């Protein structure tokens, strides 16, 4: 009988690791964006009803940020997969967030 590890099955679920931080804690700071996931929000407050999970790094540590920002969701979808990780700063313009 085979062990599960011998079956060569890999999860299709993208695991994002790191301590959770609030987006206000990283505003206007240089960060590296390593990966992301977009899922249906548990607390839909935005038009899309989706939630962006960003795996980022700053100060040498990986973190995860959750946001319902439709602007950030739209922008991150446009980044080619082979361009990760990328450096950016998240800024607040009026009532929405954007990458610079």
3-49 confidence digits (pLDDT tens): 888 888 877 667 788 999 999 999 999 999 999 999 998 877 788 88
> Residue 42 forms beta bridges with which residues?
none
Residue range 17-99 in CATH 2.40.50: yes
Interval 21-33: pLDDT, tens: 999 999 999 999 9
pTM for this prediction: 0.83
- Ordered by start, the domain boundaries in the chain are 17-99
- Cβ-in-10-Å burial (0-12, 13-18, 19+) of 25 comes to exposed
């Amino acid at each position: 009988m085979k062990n599960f590890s011998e079956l060569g099955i890999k999860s299709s679920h993208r695991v994002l690791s790191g301590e959770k931080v609030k987006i206000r804690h990283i505003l206007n700071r240089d960060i590296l964006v390593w990966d992301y996931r977009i899922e249906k929000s548990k607390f839909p407050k935005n038009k899309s009803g989706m939630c962006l999970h960003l795996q980022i790094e700053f100060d040498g540590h990986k973190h995860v940020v959750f946001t319902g920002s439709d602007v950030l969701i739209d922008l991150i979808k446009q980044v080619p997969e082979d361009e990760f990780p990328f450096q950016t700063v998240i800024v607040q313009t009026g009532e929405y967030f954007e990458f610079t």
